[in-house]
Amino acid sequence: MREHAWGRRLFALALSLCLLAPVAPQAQALSVGNEEEITPYYIGTFTVSATISPYIGNTVECWGHVDCYPGYTADAVMRLQWLDVDGVWMNYMNWYAEGRHADFDVRYSVPSGRQYRVKVVADIFDDSTGEVVEVVGATSGSFVV
């Protein structure tokens, strides 16, 4: 009986140590043109978001936002995408913004019968060196128009 209680304590201690272990993020060197899933680590960014919603008729309303800390600048693209029959997201329309606060707010008419979403991707630059320090991205939910 004592061995069983000791085993539980040892397991709990090991689990708590795993939860306390630091996780070192690694920046990704992806370009704005890359369509792979992107995980932001927020070196120079504190917010990135993408939202889409139906508006009126065949019009969708698209929002995107990238906020950088002082000393960093975003070079961002918001892509309106539709899902093809093979399950691949195709770019339908692109909008670009740059600066410490890159904002998008667009209403756009689209063909009906397709599933749409919005994806925001940004290269984040260190203003003092001009180097890309991270690539961030966000993808909205999707719906059929």
Q: Which of 93, 108, 121, 95 is nearest to 53 (CA)?
A: 108
Quickly list DSSP for 11-77.
HHHHHHHHHHS----------TT--S------SSEEEEEEEEEE-STTEEEEEEEEEE-TTEEEEEE
What b/e string do you get for 70-100 counting C-beta neighbours within 10 Å, with b at 16 or more?
Answer: eebbbbbbbbbbbeeeeeebeebeebebeee
Whole-prediction pTM value?
Answer: 0.71
Rounded Cα distance, 43 and 22, in Å:
16
Tell the burial category of 63 from Cβ atoms under 10 Å away from its Cβ (0-12, 13-18, 19+).
middle
- Return the structure tokens found at 59: 């019009």
pLDDT of the residue at 1: 46
pLDDT of the residue at 35: 52
pLDDT at 32 over 90: no
φ/ψ (deg, to 5) at 88? -105, 130
Output DSSP code: residue 88: -
pLDDT of the residue at 107: 97
pLDDT of the residue at 42: 78
Widest CA span in the chain: 70
pLDDT at 9 over 70: no
Identify which has the larger pLDDT, 122 or 16.
122
Rounded Cα distance, 107 and 121, in Å:
19
pLDDT at 109 over 60: yes
pLDDT at 24 over 60: no
pLDDT digits (tens, 9 = 90+) for 33-91: 455 555 545 789 999 999 999 999 899 999 999 999 999 999 999 999 999 999 999 99
pLDDT band at 8 (very low <50, low <70, confident <90, very high): low
User: Which structural domains are found in the chain, ordered by start?
Assistant: 27-144 (2.60.40.10)
